[in-house]
Amino acid sequence: MKLSYEAIGQWCATFACSGVSEGQVVKISANDTAAACSDSDAFAGVAVSVAHGGEACSVQLGGMVSVPYSGTAPAVGWTTLTADENGGVKAASTGKTYLTVHTDTAAKTVTFVL
């Protein structure tokens, strides 16, 4: 049986943005503004859509998400994640801990609860 965690518990907010792409993890960089993360940044959520010529984005701030990862595959269970330099995440030794429910080493994606 195939399982799907798509959009479970998803909730989003709209922010001003610049240089943000759909599907990448983002941080809050200024009042009402989301921005792309740098390597090892803590992230606030995932950009699920970008509109108005890239000037606004909807950011998923809660629920289950699947994003690309780099480096060592994140472990399932409670694991620490930070942003990587490619718009995805990576396993880290310090930072925020997330409940990770699936790591796909072939696709290099990880599914976790924001």
Q: What is the pLDDT along the chain (114 residues), one digit of tens a residue?
A: 478 888 899 999 999 998 999 999 999 999 999 999 999 999 999 999 999 999 999 999 999 999 999 999 999 999 999 999 999 999 999 999 999 999 999 999 999 999
Query: In sequence order, what DSSP letters do the residues of 8-77 get, joined into one string?
Result: TT-EEEEEEESS--TT-EEEEEETTEEEEPPTT----EEEEEEEGGGTEEEEEEESEEEEEB-SSPPPSE
Radius of gyration for the chain, computed over Cα atoms and rounded to the nearest angstrom:
13
The rounded distance, in Å, linking the Cα atoms of 17 and 37 is: 12
The rounded distance, in Å, linking the Cα atoms of 77 and 101 is: 6
The pTM of the full predicted model, rounded to 2 decimals, is 0.93
- What is the model's pLDDT at position 3? 81
Q: What residues contact 29, with CB distance under 8 A and at least 6 apart?
A: 35
